């Protein structure tokens, strides 16, 4: 079995795991991004390639959420616009700044994502706040920039913002979040196609795994001990941040 075949199988497997993690925690990048690094892609190009692959998870979410989105999507147009504008800015930041700067920032992004994910499990985080449309709009714009620049746990930022202003159920808001996040990744990818490089030989098997993992995750999510998954993911993310920090600074 050749090395290319092994890398293909590895990325499909990593994509499946990332897809399941995405369903549970909106943190697929904490699995898929380091998988691309292990496959030999440099940090900046790994981020770009990861963005290309993640779109396929969002496409699957959109197809599976037609019922939830049918009567609600018009209420979120202004948030979609803010995410898209933010994603454009974030993706240009990746291209403009040298790769070494991105490499040194990523460990902090991972730690930020891990802590955000950990505290997002508290019910108080999701309590609807009154008269905070402006705050939610700022949060969505920031989530868009973050989506374009790195993206791990950006879905949690979006979810918190949307739940604070929406009267829809959690299921509907989560479906909207999935689609909005996918659109942000799509916009970032369009910019990357003209300004950077996507390693399609790595993106395709990862995307295949993400599609499978997203499908399986929807089926098995009700059987998973979510609290345990939250803690395990947090621990994994902290160790990953330490490892990436050691690579960047040592």
More confidently predicted of 13 and 110? 13
pLDDT digits (tens, 9 = 90+) for 30-89: 889 899 999 999 888 998 899 889 888 777 666 766 776 777 778 889 999 999 999 999
Burial 124-163 (b: 16+ CB within 10 A, else e): eeeeeeeeeeeebbebbbbbbbbbbbbbbbbbbbbbbbbb
Report whether pLDDT(126) > 50: no
Question: What pLDDT was estimated at residue 13?
Answer: 95
Question: What pLDDT was estimated at residue 111?
Answer: 81
Give me 154's structure tokens.
């950006």
Measure Cα distances from 45 to 4, 42, 76, 133, 146 in Å: 18, 6, 32, 36, 16
Percent of the chain with pLDDT over 70: 84
Q: Which of 6, 49, 76, 53 is nearest to 214 (CA)?
A: 53
More confidently predicted of 185 and 57? 185
pLDDT digits (tens, 9 = 90+) for 143-180: 899 888 887 667 777 877 887 788 887 777 877 887 88
Question: What pLDDT was estimated at residue 226?
Answer: 62
Query: Which pTM was predicted?
Result: 0.76
Give dist(CA 17, CA 119) in Å, integer.
22
Structural domain boundaries of the chain? 3-249
Weakest mean pLDDT among 22-36, 71-85, 105-119: 105-119
Q: What phi-psi label fits residue 153: left (phi over 0), alpha (psi between -120 and 50 degrees) or beta?
A: left
């Amino acid at each position: 079995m050749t090395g290319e075949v092994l890398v293909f199988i590895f990325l499909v497997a990593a994509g499946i795991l990332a897809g399941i993690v995405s369903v549970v925690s909106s943190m697929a990048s904490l699995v898929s991004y380091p998988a691309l690094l292990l496959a030999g892609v440099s940090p900046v190009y790994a981020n770009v390639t990861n963005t290309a692959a993640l779109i396929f998870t969002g496409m699957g979410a959109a197809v599976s959420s037609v019922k939830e989105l049918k009567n609600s999507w018009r209420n979120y147009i202004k948030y979609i616009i803010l995410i898209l504008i933010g994603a454009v800015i974030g993706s240009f930041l990746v291209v403009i700044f040298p790769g070494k700067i991105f490499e040194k920032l990523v460990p902090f992004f991972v730690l930020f994502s891990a802590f955000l994910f950990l505290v997002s499990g508290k019910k108080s985080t999701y309590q609807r706040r009154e008269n905070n449309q402006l705050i939610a709009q700022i949060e969505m714009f920031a989530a868009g920039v973050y989506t374009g620049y790195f993206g791990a746990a950006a879905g949690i930022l979006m979810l918190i913002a949307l739940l604070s202003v929406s009267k829809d159920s959690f299921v509907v808001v989560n479906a909207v979040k999935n689609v909005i996040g996918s659109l942000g990744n799509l916009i970032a990818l369009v910019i990357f196609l003209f300004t950077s490089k996507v390693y399609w030989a790595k993106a395709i098997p990862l995307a295949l795994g993400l599609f499978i993992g997203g499908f399986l995750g929807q089926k098995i999510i009700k059987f998973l001990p979510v609290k345990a998954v939250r803690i395990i993911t947090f621990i994994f993310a902290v160790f990953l941040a330490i490892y990436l920090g050691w690579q960047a600074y040592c």
